[in-house]
Structure 1
């Protein structure tokens, strides 16, 4: 008997550019202190500000908001070398991402950059995933300087923020889903915005490949396939809507 089931559609994993405008940042109790301190610039207590938070927590988004306001350049810590410092400070404001990442990091150049920032009164916003003592720094003066830098930490998202971010992730992909899908995801996934981004991307690929809408049963099936999620409900039968 001939199989009449519709062919599975090939899903292309195209890059999705995140929207980093101020109007796209969702403020909640987990990030309002960091947001407030970013908003307080240029009235910072120091020339250097350290923004910490887990991957996907919104550090780069906040840094982008500040960079737009301060007309700052943005570089990774690995791009700061001794030969680059004079050029980098010429702009008057700078974002240095991932100062906790050891690969390619020139600690002496970073320390020189921060000293010049203080001397010449230009602003530097640093981002990192965790506390300074976990950076693996070998230059004691740089470690001490970063410990003393004022800053803020973005905490794990609360329920309201997690749900709002999931909705935004679907909207960014021009996907319309029922509220029950958002509720099911927020209840079961790790409390992480990075994880929410991964799950929504996987759901998008899966739904496109199956040529189906994103429903709660499909969301539960994808979570079950990926594993490691905290599910409490019994599985529901898959719907048969195309």
Structure 2
């Protein structure tokens, strides 16, 4: 008589609070220049610094580290309003997140804030994905101001950083996995920290639903379901005991 499959467990997609401490930031060739500028503050080349990088690359983490060092307030570009400008600049340092997102973005207020910050020598870190010309800015003076601002870019991670981040993502979820799982994920996903985060979250959900630990065969099955093609390197061991 065939054994009954274990019942699927209910899973709850609870938000995972990211850890944005300095000790939690993993430095590699992709981000060491940006990290160096954060560490070099207040010895910056200009009042404004534009931090660029793809989604999930660590911009918010770096901005949080700098905000702690500079005692800066943090505001989203999408929530900035004209009546907040003077109050925000009065703090002495400011992070403006996601300036590349056009939804509800008040470009006039943002331009006014940058002018006032320069006048009062208030350091401002601005985060955004991609080049300034891709931000879709309609105010020409604001676009010009951001083009002229010193900028530093977080590049796609190298293999070592990608693997280290995958390990950290599991640790953040209090999950212990074999290095074979880390290797399988690293070999099959795009070289993107955002994709690594999404895949680890999916593996966690799947393992909880099955009531099983995350093994390499389970990881490969989930990656197959996500449409990530198998390579020759990670095919070995796919038939190991799950």
Once the two structures are TM-superposed, the CA of residue 200 in structure 1 deviates from its matched residue by 0.4
Query: Equivalent residue of 1:79, what SS?
Result: coil
Conserved 8 A contact 1:55-1:194: yes
Match status 1:176 vs 2:170:
no
CA distance in 2, matches of 1:122, 1:37: 17
Q: Aligned residue pairs: how many?
A: 239
Q: 1:157-168 residue pairs with structure 2 within 5 A?
A: 157-168=157-168
Match of 1:111 in 2: 111
Match of 1:239 in 2: 241
Match of 1:82 in 2: 82
Once the two structures are TM-superposed, the CA of residue 72 in structure 1 deviates from its matched residue by 0.5
Conserved 8 A contact 1:218-1:238: no
Query: Equivalent residue of 1:84, what SS?
Result: helix
Match of 1:196 in 2: 196
Q: 1:40-59 residue pairs with structure 2 within 5 A?
A: 40-59=40-59
5+ unaligned residues in a row in structure 2: which ranges?
none
Once the two structures are TM-superposed, the CA of residue 11 in structure 1 deviates from its matched residue by 1.2
Once the two structures are TM-superposed, the CA of residue 230 in structure 1 deviates from its matched residue by 3.9
Deviations 1:3-36 (A, max 9, x none): 6322111111111101000000000000000000
Deviations 1:78-120 (A, max 9, x none): 1212111011111111100000110011111111100011100
**How big is the alpha-carbon RMSD for the aligned residues of Structure 1 and Structure 2?**
1.3
Q: 1:100-139 residue pairs with structure 2 within 5 A?
A: 100-139=100-139
Match of 1:9 in 2: 9
CA distance in 1, matches of 2:2, 2:230: 38
Query: Equivalent residue of 1:181, what SS?
Result: helix
CA distance in 2, matches of 1:230, 1:146: 40
Conserved 8 A contact 1:49-1:150: yes
Query: Equivalent residue of 1:8, what SS?
Result: coil
